[in-house]
Amino acid sequence: MATPANFSRIAISNILLATDFSPESQNAMQCALSLAKRYQSKLFLAHATPTTWAELTDAMRHAAEVRMAEFESIEGLKNLPHKTIVELGDPWQVLSHLVRDENIDFVVMGTHGAGGINKLFVGSTAEQVIRHATCPVFTVGPHVRTLVSDRFASILYATDFSEGSMRALDYALSFAEEDRSEMTMLHVIESTPVSESELVEWKRQDRDKLKQMIPPDLDLAYKPEIEVEVGAAAQEIVRLADSRNTDLVVMGCHSGGAVSTHLPWTTLHHVLQHTHCPVLTVRGALH
């Protein structure tokens, strides 16, 4: 049987916004601004351009600096402590060094529609960020509606009971407590039971696990709703997020950078591409 979670309220001192200056990055910027204001965080705006053409580096850097200056003029940023970074080189290397050197608590990034999540940067940088970043990653997908509120009124927490999921729970609960949110806790059974009675028992056990994960002293505005569904995790997460008009999906990743077997990269990719709200992913602890 699961035991009540050891709940730790989150603190967000430093936020890194990874941008490619696209419209999706503009939406991600609004999310980063909202979080920075709420948690009194310092905001780092970073752009990295991969190139192997030495003769173009100065021109490319100048162009990126001009774009960053335009990006920096967004309303709402002026009164926030912030720093801009423009680098030429492997984007993941640039970002990973910034996460380490600046003690980043949160990475925020946007994703494109047509080319999928890997279009955020050349190659698979976005996937690398989610798989390997040592801090939570807040991803704003191509279908995310423009934020109109500075709070998450409805949160969907999807779990496979892994270590990453348990770490993600602190973030889901912290946001739900602070924002007085409605919260849904979801587990998707993807295995096929041998009988109807076995399925009933699986659902009962999983519902009990979810209930036991809620700390008794948590000051929530609403009692979390417990959902155990059967099917493909990706489709069930998106379906429930849409039906509940969810403002934030929270899920975990396994330590070591590999995405959970319950939430493999293909599943997470589907969720990021199809949800109408941001997705927060949290890794398990490093071993």
pLDDT digits (tens, 9 = 90+) for 155-211: 999 998 888 888 899 999 999 999 999 999 999 999 888 899 999 999 999 999 999
- Say if residue 128 is in the same domain as residue 175: no
Q: Is 171 within the bounds of a domain?
A: yes
**How many other CB atoms are found less than 10 A from the CB of residue 182?**
21
Q: DSSP per residue over 35-71, as a string?
A: HHHHHT-EEEEEEEE----GGGHHHHHHHHHHHHHHH
Q: Is 149 within the bounds of a domain?
A: no
Q: Which domain holds residue 185?
A: 154-283
The last residue of a domain, from among 111, 140, 169: 140
Number of domains the chain is built from: 2
- Say if residue 86 is in the same domain as residue 174: no
pLDDT at 247 over 90: yes
Q: Is 160 within the bounds of a domain?
A: yes
Per this entry, what is the length of the chain? 287
Q: Is 1 within the bounds of a domain?
A: no
The sign of the dihedral angle between the CA atoms of 199, 191, 230, 249 is positive
* Inter-residue contact 255 to 123 (CB < 8 Å): no
The last residue of a domain, from among 109, 140, 171: 140
What letter does residue 285 receive in the DSSP assignment?
P
- Say if residue 179 is in the same domain as residue 135: no
pLDDT band at 41 (very low <50, low <70, confident <90, very high): very high
Task: Quote the strand ranges of 159-204, DSSP E.
Answer: 182-189
**Phi and psi angles of residue 200, each rounded to the nearest 5 degrees, phi first:** -60, -40
pLDDT at 234 over 60: yes
- Say if residue 112 is in the same domain as residue 165: no
pLDDT at 87 over 70: yes
* Inter-residue contact 282 to 167 (CB < 8 Å): yes
The last residue of a domain, from among 81, 106, 140: 140
pLDDT band at 122 (very low <50, low <70, confident <90, very high): very low
User: What's the CATH number where 202 sits?
Assistant: 3.40.50.620
- pTM score, two decimals? 0.89
- Say if residue 190 is in the same domain as residue 228: yes
Q: Is 189 within the bounds of a domain?
A: yes
- Say if residue 242 is in the same domain as residue 278: yes
- Say if residue 131 is in the same domain as residue 184: no
Selection from 20, 71, 17, 70 nearest residue 49 by Cα: 20
Instruction: Give me 90's structure tokens.
Output: 């492997």
